[in-house]
Amino acid sequence: MIDTHAHLNTEEFKDDLDACILRAIEHNIEHIIVIGMDEASNQRAIEIAESYDFVYASVGIHPGFVDQGNTEHLSNLLKHPKVVAIGECGLDFYWTKENIEKQKDIFIKQIELAVESKYPLVIHTRNSFTEAYDLIKPYQGKVTGVFHCFSSNVDDAKKAIDLGFYIGIDGPVTYKKALETFELVKNIDLKHLLIETDSPYLAPVPFRGKRNEPSYVRFVAEKIAEIKEVSLAEVIKQTSLNAKMLFNIGGNL
């Protein structure tokens, strides 16, 4: 399995990162992508990726951090051999709508950087899929990536796929009330899905409410297999292939 979205660069892992990584290995996690959100966490993501052969990093400015930073440092970080994507970037209208234009400006700069560098985007959309889609649409065919922790409906997922993007599925797929995500997984082909944890957030059942970690990505894969009525092995094989193709990371295709 490949956990394509983990924030191991947060305070929640400062005391037991090695143990967490060891558990991931023990639970057959082939690769982890550590996701940056601002300049400090981008640097920490790279440091973690440097420390473990099977870990990679993504660097970007999360919409929640646009008021504290800019994108100027990203081009240099993209030269690092363990960096495989740009993000987490995007739009978030759940927490605040007071800086929408700033969010859009920072997001567009990262889209254009992705076009220029050929790196995929890791996109955050919370209460903002339509607005994010409208910003990416002019670049269709020039950029790819994943709509991380997808929280919209099947129709929006199909629009994202038509743009050339993957759909990220996380712990909420295991929650009883996540009916929209359930329908999405049921109706979207496996070749368009990635599995994620978003560690330390959104832990799946049976760990809901506790700290999430990469080893728990198995519960996401198991739920997808249950919903789609296919084997766990098939889910793992296809989502791992998807991740390797998107992020150009190790292992045989």
Tell me how many domains the chain contains.
1
Q: Within a domain: residue 148?
A: yes
Residue 45 and residue 222: Cα distance in Å, rounded?
28
Over residues 118-146, mean pLDDT: 97
Asked whether residue 196 carries a pLDDT value surpassing 90, the answer given is: yes
Q: Within a domain: residue 191?
A: yes
Over residues 209-234, mean pLDDT: 98
Asked whether residue 137 carries a pLDDT value surpassing 80, the answer given is: yes
Q: Within a domain: residue 167?
A: yes
Q: Within a domain: residue 252?
A: no
Asked whether residue 174 carries a pLDDT value surpassing 70, the answer given is: yes
DSSP assignment letter at 20 = H
Over residues 166-184, mean pLDDT: 96
Asked whether residue 79 carries a pLDDT value surpassing 60, the answer given is: yes
Q: What is the pTM of this model?
A: 0.96
Instruction: Return the ∠ at Cα 23 (arms to 18 and 27), rounded to 5°.
Output: 150
Assign residue 229 a region (left: φ > 0; alpha: ψ between -120 and 50; beta: otherwise). Answer: left
Q: Please check whether residue 132 is in contact with residue 107, taking contact to mean a CB–CB distance below 8 angstroms.
A: yes
Confidence of residue 251 (pLDDT cuts 50, 70, 90): low
Residue 133 and residue 124: Cα distance in Å, rounded?
11
DSSP assignment letter at 50 = H
Domain that holds residue 94: 2-247
Place of tokens 């994010």: 132
Q: What pLDDT sits at residue 20?
A: 98
Over residues 77-101, mean pLDDT: 92
The radius of gyration computed from the CA coordinates of the chain, to the nearest angstrom, equals: 17
Q: Within a domain: residue 97?
A: yes
Q: Tell me the per-residue pLDDT of 25-65, one tens digit each, with 9 for 90 and over.
A: 999 999 999 999 999 999 999 999 999 999 999 999 999 99
Mean pLDDT for the chain? 96
Q: What pLDDT sits at residue 253?
A: 46
Q: What pLDDT sits at residue 97?
A: 79
Q: Please check whether residue 147 is in contact with residue 123, taking contact to mean a CB–CB distance below 8 angstroms.
A: yes
Q: Within a domain: residue 211?
A: yes
Percent of the chain with pLDDT over 90: 93
Question: Strand 121-126 to strand 145-147: parallel, antiparallel, or no bridges (unpaired)?
Answer: parallel
Residue 160 and residue 46: Cα distance in Å, rounded?
28
- In terms of Cβ atoms closer than 10 Å to its own Cβ (0-12, 13-18, 19+), residue 10 is middle
Question: Strand 83-92 to strand 121-126: parallel, antiparallel, or no bridges (unpaired)?
Answer: parallel
What CATH code is carried by the domain that includes residue 95? 3.20.20.140
Over residues 214-224, mean pLDDT: 98
Which of 66-75, 196-205, 211-220 is predicted least confidently?
A: 66-75
Over residues 91-99, mean pLDDT: 84
Q: Within a domain: residue 134?
A: yes
Partners of 195 in the β-ladder: 169
- In terms of Cβ atoms closer than 10 Å to its own Cβ (0-12, 13-18, 19+), residue 206 is exposed
Q: What pLDDT sits at residue 70?
A: 87
Residue 214 and residue 243: Cα distance in Å, rounded?
15
Which of 48-57, 64-73, 131-140, 177-186 is predicted least confidently?
A: 64-73
